Amino acid sequence: MAAKILWVDDEIDLLKPHILFLEAKGYVVETINNGSDAIDLSIENEYDIIFLDENMPGISGLDALVRIKEKKPSVPIVMITKSEEESIMEEAIGGKIADYLIKPVHPNQLLLCLKKNLEHEKIVSDKVNSNYQQEFRSLGQKIDSCDTIEEWIELYQKIVYWELELEKIQDSGMSEILLSQKKEANDLFSRFIEDNYTDWLQDSKSAPEMLHTLIKNKVAPLLATEKIYFVLIDNLRYDQWQVLKPIVSKYFTVTKEEVVLSILPTTTHYARNALFAGLMPSEIQKMFPKYWVTEEEEGGKNLFEKELLEANLQRLGKSCKISYNKITNLDAGKKLVDNFNQLKNNDLNVIVYNFVDMLSHARTEMNIIKELADDEAAYRSLTASWFEHSPLQDIFKKIADAGGKVIITTDHGSVKVTNPIKLAGEKETNPNLRYKSGRNMTYKEKEAFSIRDPKLAFLPKSNLSSEYVFARETDYFVYPNNYNHFVNYYMNTFQHGGISLEELMIPYVELVSKK
């Protein structure tokens, strides 16, 4: 269907050649020579776009713009003017114009303007589709040939890039193709981790940058020269960081952006303690038994993060003034914003923000959250929406004003689970859906990755026969008892603890204030 244009200009008769040009291109053009009639016509009729002359006798273009927008806020309006005065441009832009053209206008300028405003989504969609189709074969080859962690990181970054690109155009067909490639990548990545994970831990020289070395290798060297705000957003996936990045970039310049590896199990209990302690879980249990709570014990399992961090910094020879704030609800976030000035004199301020992790768990428990975050794209969108209205964004604004370096990272990601795996175990077996620790567990060995000797992965063991079992890709463990109920209850929920690109590959970002 041809796009319908309303063109408003007090010298409209002089624009006949331009109108004929647009009509020849298939557009329907209605014309009027004054602002008053333009307002009435725009209310009475539906137009795809309005060209509006800024300088007309009677009701000016700027006045007409305001009144048209009051009634038809979604219709794009292009302001056309002879003036290049900054104040007029600012006033027009403040009135939410879609575009701005300076007279004399060339016909091709009009055509470009129309394509940009009326056909933008189709043009972008066609281009993204074409680019992904060209990339499809290359991605497939990379998936088959990845044999180093650096290659896997690069591949995952490309997959996330295309997820976000295809999401913009809402092309379910292309997205499904990419999803199948991601599934294949996750399967091969899981096998890669199985082949290499314990070797990395036994020989640190061959290991990539991992969570338990992050403070030593990346944070501690910065403490000598800069004040650091270390912001850990719990359960923040790499793709979620990508949707937060444009918001954070309003206040900060990203100076470093990397992907590092979490540890197994990819859960807060193990991963975050390892991050702050600079030690693997079994090392924490050995060196700080009073700070490590076993799977079988009751009580919180991350209650001593500050103490573990202080001990880590002491071993590294870093004598500095630190603060540690864990934000688990809205009021705590607001309180930190109100008391932000208390942080300014510290060398290192650690802020742990738990919302994304809570969102993941809430999505499992609450139907309304399931509906709001029905798929990966919606999950990312909900994360961005939360951030824009959260105290965390206010905290970032405060940091930008105060100056200093910001580090954003996380302890692990999460994956949307879709494939149930039967596993039976004793009552002491932990309840996590993506990994199990215990003894006498029964499962099909080909369906999971087991570490029968936990010391190889620096994991604590409760008794001599303890082992750890990890779900791969999008699998999740379900007990045989009441099997169908729990299969349906947890299907398509976001979980963590196992082996997947989304859980293990986490963002590490350094930023400096733009002020």
User: Does 1 or 218 have the greater pLDDT score?
Assistant: 218
Task: Give the separation between CA 326 and CA 353, rounded to whole angstroms.
Answer: 6
Helix (H) or strand (E) holding 351: strand 348-353
How many whole angstroms from its chain centre is CA 508?
Answer: 13
User: Does 126 or 376 have the greater pLDDT score?
Assistant: 376
| Most confident range, picked from 170-174, 335-339, 355-359 | 335-339
Task: Give the separation between CA 11 and CA 262, rounded to whole angstroms.
Answer: 66
Give the CATH superfamily of 209-414+503-513: Alkaline Phosphatase, subunit A (3.40.720.10)
Which tokens go with 117? Answer: 């405003």
| Res 360 pLDDT > 90 | no
Q: Which amino acid is at 263?
A: I
113-138 burial, b at 16+ Cβ within 10 Å, e below that, comes to bbeebbeeeeeebeebbeebeebeee
Helix (H) or strand (E) holding 415: strand 415-416
In contact, 375 and 493? CB cutoff 8 Å: no
Which tokens go with 55? Answer: 């300088």
In contact, 420 and 487? CB cutoff 8 Å: yes
User: Does 360 or 512 have the greater pLDDT score?
Assistant: 512
User: pLDDT tens digit string along 51-78?
Assistant: 999 889 999 988 999 899 999 988 999 9
| Res 402 pLDDT > 80 | yes
| Res 306 pLDDT > 90 | yes
Model confidence band, residue 342 (pLDDT cutoffs 50, 70, 90): very high
| Res 91 pLDDT > 70 | no
Long-range (24+ apart) CB contacts under 8 A made by 339-342 are: 340/395, 340/398, 340/402
Domain range summary for the chain, segments of one domain joined by +: 4-118, 122-201, 209-414+503-513, 416-496
Give burial (CB, 10 Å; 0-12/13-18/19+) of 352: buried
The CA-CA-CA angle for residues 361, 474, 166, to 5°, reads: 90
Say if residue 265 is preceded by a cis peptide, omega within 30 of 0.
Answer: yes
Residue 258 pairs in a beta bridge with 508
User: pLDDT tens digit string along 421-469?
Assistant: 999 998 888 999 999 999 899 999 899 999 999 999 999 987 777 899 9
Residue 70: HSE in the Cβ half-sphere, 13 Å Cα cutoff: 8
Do the domains 209-414+503-513 and 4-118 match in fold? no
In contact, 439 and 426? CB cutoff 8 Å: yes
Query: CATH number of the domain at 4-118, out of 3.40.50.2300, 3.40.50.1970, 1.10.8.350, 3.65.10.10?
Result: 3.40.50.2300
Give 432's DSSP letter.
Answer: -
Averaged over 285-297, what is the pLDDT? 89
- Which pLDDT belongs to residue 86? 65
Task: Give the separation between CA 343 and CA 94, rounded to whole angstroms.
Answer: 37
- Which pLDDT belongs to residue 95? 64
User: pLDDT tens digit string along 189-229?
Assistant: 999 999 999 999 998 888 999 999 999 999 999 998 889 99
| Res 366 pLDDT > 70 | no
Average pLDDT, the chain: 90
| Res 359 pLDDT > 80 | no
Averaged over 465-485, what is the pLDDT? 94
